Structure 1
Amino acid sequence: MKPYDDPASRRKFLKTTAGALTGLAAYPALAAAGFTNPGNPMYSISLGVFASYDHARYLRELGCTYIEESVGGFLLPKDGEAKFGQNLQELHNLKFPIWSYVILLPGELKTLGPDANHEAILNRTELALKRAKECGSSYIVFGSGASRIIPDGYDRNKAKAQHIEVCRKMAPLAEKYGVTIAIEPLNRGETNFINSLAEGVEIVEAVRSPRVQLLCDIYHMLKEDESPKEIVKYGKYIVHCHIAEKQSRTPPGVMGDDFRPYLKALKQISYKGGLSIECFKYNDFDKEIKTGIEVLRKQISEV
């Protein structure tokens, strides 16, 4: 019988792997020293990629510090408990850390509007946080643009209050499991609510929890023509970052985007977190990601 097929055996399995997985949680911060800018030792960025864990070995070969997975793909797979057990076993075997997870909520679970379902959201969130802790992970990204679209004609202030309410209810769960929820502003092509770092900070400040902080996504900032100065202004809230090229959300190096103004802003705030290439389509994953990592390293070194 496999460790994930029986609850008692799974508890024993988790106990024996807890030490190794706890070590993974601290690994990115330690490994980030490899990307430290000599001109500013406080500026060290850990490079990672959003991808299926199937790509973990290759990304480690490229010198990535970590991989970023999805909540539905790794923590809450459609095949249920048994599949999560398999994922956890693979993570334990490979020991390449998953630092964070994206897509906390599916579009049908609404945080606001007449169909808001906070009970279902909190049940899903708690299970995701619990399993993220088991994996030794640090963050769950709360973007989920489709879940927070304000319906036409719906009062915007009421919608904002609903969203803040559910985030406030998430906060004690995040504190309980020691995993930080990173609020992600998205461009207006994906949602009509929380489209800037400033709007993200409004939610963070309303919740007032050390486990609810801000994600800086340079792709969305580019789409919204948001200045790098906003990173400096709100830097104290930023715990994690995403990046992709503006036109088609391609990895760095495909279109040749210059990210240095944004990377310079991260340097100004002495950012020491992760920077994940987050794309959803590739013509050639291995080739484009290899180039993307090389381009990012070069641009980081130049700021």
Structure 2
Amino acid sequence: MKRRGFIKNIGLGSAVFGLSGAAGFPAFAEERKASAFKMDFAPHFGMFKNSAPGGIVDELKFMADQGFRSLEDNGMLGRSVEDQNLIAKTMEQLGMRMGVFVVDGGDNWKVSLTTGKQEFLDTFLDTCRKSVEVAKRVNAKWMTVVPGYFERRLPMGVQTGNVIEALKRGAEIFEPHGLTMVLEPLSDNPDLFLRHADQSYMICKAVDSPACKILYDIYHMQRNEGNLIATMEKTWDEIAYIQIGDNPGRKEPGTGEVNFSNVFKFIHEKGFKGILGMEHGNALPGKDGEMALIEAYRKVDIA
């Protein structure tokens, strides 16, 4: 279930830079803070590395000063306990909450849960148990799960049954702790098993647990099926987490074809209180690009 091989341009590689700034907040902490965004947008580490070059603490403080109230970090499971504790402590001080991290099952994610093989199931369940420990450490509620690639030697119904049974087992681990794994249909290539919202909806209904819901990524769903608002309406009661990225390009709102003002209006009117993860790259480089990204979100934030 490892996604690093096909998720691009989200800046995770720059997350683990100098923690020397952890002793105190940077100089910009004294500058005037921006008003909080009305919608709970969550940047990731590396998105503001030029404006806050001092490390994890600097970047979190910069995010908070710009009005962001949450963070998401796909690679959290692979961080050291020391870094996880530092992130959690800093976010608590800033009043921020934690978005998703990936239940990263290692190098066998490509053919994992679709096969029904015990070895892949064992790896998945072991990673779920480790994810519970990390979630408690960083005060996370949601964890991303990707079932993997098609197993072309098996009928689609059998693959779906294998995925459902594996997710039921995962839900048994997460549910007692009030945690939720969110299934993310993806568009990165045609070999991926989970690609559509209705397919994810069916699987969540079959698992039948509050610990198994949908991560609706606007970028991937625009590429795979479009008709975003109508599709979200049909699958809404299983959507627990939303991610953002314009298409084409997978950059901030306003750089592609998606009408984010309308989409966010719909999400707000549905009463969504969750996090909207900013899982995309920056359209422009440097500090100017980072400021342009923030302004793009100001333009589409709900009135």
Same fold (TM over 0.5): yes
TM-score norm. by structure 2 comes to 0.74
Give 1:284 deviation, angstroms.
2.6
Identity %: 18
In the TM superposition, 1:81-230 aligns within 5 A as 83-95=80-92, 96=94, 97-105=96-104, 106-109=106-109, 110-113=112-115, 117-142=120-145, 144=146, 148-187=148-187, 189=189, 191-227=191-227, 228-230=229-231
Do 1:185 and 1:197's aligned partners in 2 also have CA atoms closer than 8 Å?
A: yes
Do 1:240 and 1:274's aligned partners in 2 also have CA atoms closer than 8 Å?
A: yes
Do 1:112 and 1:160's aligned partners in 2 also have CA atoms closer than 8 Å?
A: yes
Do 1:48 and 1:275's aligned partners in 2 also have CA atoms closer than 8 Å?
A: yes
Cα 1:90–1:194 change in 2 (3 A) is closer
Unaligned runs of 5+ in 2: 1-34, 47-54
Aligned residue number for residue 296 of structure 1: 297
Give 1:286 deviation, angstroms.
4.7
Give 1:51 deviation, angstroms.
2.8
In the aligned structure 2, how far is the partner of 1:35 from the partner of 1:64? 6
In the aligned structure 1, how far is the partner of 2:286 from the partner of 2:141? 25
TM-score norm. by structure 1 comes to 0.74
Give the number of equivalent residue pairs.
252
Do 1:243 and 1:275's aligned partners in 2 also have CA atoms closer than 8 Å?
A: yes
Cα 1:117–1:293 change in 2 (3 A) is same
In the aligned structure 1, how far is the partner of 2:267 from the partner of 2:73? 23
Higher strand share: 1
CA-atom RMSD, angstroms? Answer: 2.6
Cα 1:289–1:170 change in 2 (3 A) is farther
Aligned residue number for residue 270 of structure 1: 271
Unaligned runs of 5+ in 1: 1-32, 37-44, 78-82
Do 1:48 and 1:68's aligned partners in 2 also have CA atoms closer than 8 Å?
A: yes
Aligned residue number for residue 76 of structure 1: 78
Cα 1:124–1:187 change in 2 (3 A) is same
SS at match of 1:182: strand
Q: Which amino acid aligns with 1:127?
A: K
Aligned residue number for residue 242 of structure 1: 243
SS at match of 1:214: strand
Do 1:47 and 1:293's aligned partners in 2 also have CA atoms closer than 8 Å?
A: no
